[in-house]
Amino acid sequence: MRRVKTYFLAGLIVILPAAVTVYVLIVLSRFFDGLLARIFYVLPAIGPLLAAIPGSGLVVTAVTVIVIGMVTTNVVGRRAVGYWDKFFLGMPLVRGIYNSTKQIVDAFLAPDNSAFQQVVLVEYPRKGIYALGFLTSEVKGEVQKRTGSNLLAVFVPTTPNPTSGMLVFVPKDEVQKLDMPVDDGLKLIVSGGVYRPMTGTMPVVEQQEEAPEHASAVEQREGEPEHASAVN
């Protein structure tokens, strides 16, 4: 019975990631197929044809996003994006939703991850407990004046949803900067610590094994003067 249970768990480990991936692709495909059918409903020659091809909506949507990305990389496209932003930011009810969504998308999907400068460790929520965070900026203005300290703004995200979290202001000398890239930091948070980034790893076991040898050498040096005085 134990062997059957072991085989069952091993099968789940292999099947579940693939099953979830296929399920998400099917749901997205059906959603975009329906969306595409509604968009091309006014074109009787194209709408039914695309609706009859499974996955056509997902493909057309992906191609459309890629084309828009290509257009927005040039000067004319940037101006168009600027007008697009002004249009939504000028609407009272839509402005808050659009601005918040844009900031989140820029923070997590921007190629340079400009919103998150570096992965850091801070003692949060109390001393002795470390939390992984992202350095966002150096604190200026009223917060810096009232505290009188050199503070850094650190965003501490939640697991497994890194779009929510806490903004904490930490003294600069209490922030430990890590070598891992921002992408690895996000993967570590989303995975709940399962993902193991290789950047900045240290041979802790070897250091622990070398410590007793170092201690014995120090004891030997401390014992030499006593031995010499005894001979004299």
Instruction: Write out the two tokens for 192.
Output: 């709940």
CB-side exposure of 5: number of CA atoms within 13 Å?
A: 2
Q: Which of 40-44, 91-95, 157-161, 212-216 has the lowest mean pLDDT?
A: 212-216
- In angstroms, the CA 90 to CA 92 distance is 6
Query: Which pTM was predicted?
Result: 0.53
Q: In the predicted model, is pLDDT for residue 174 greater than 90?
A: yes
| pLDDT score of 166 | 92
Share of the chain above pLDDT 70, in %: 73
| pLDDT score of 172 | 92
Q: In the predicted model, is pLDDT for residue 171 greater than 90?
A: yes
Q: What is the mean pLDDT of residues 157-176?
A: 91
Q: What is the mean pLDDT of residues 130-149?
A: 90
pLDDT range class, residue 230, cuts 50, 70, 90: very low
Q: In the predicted model, is pLDDT for residue 212 greater than 70?
A: no
Among the ranges 29-33, 90-94, 132-136, which has the highest mean pLDDT value?
132-136
Q: What is the mean pLDDT of residues 11-20?
A: 84
Amino acid identity, position 57:
G
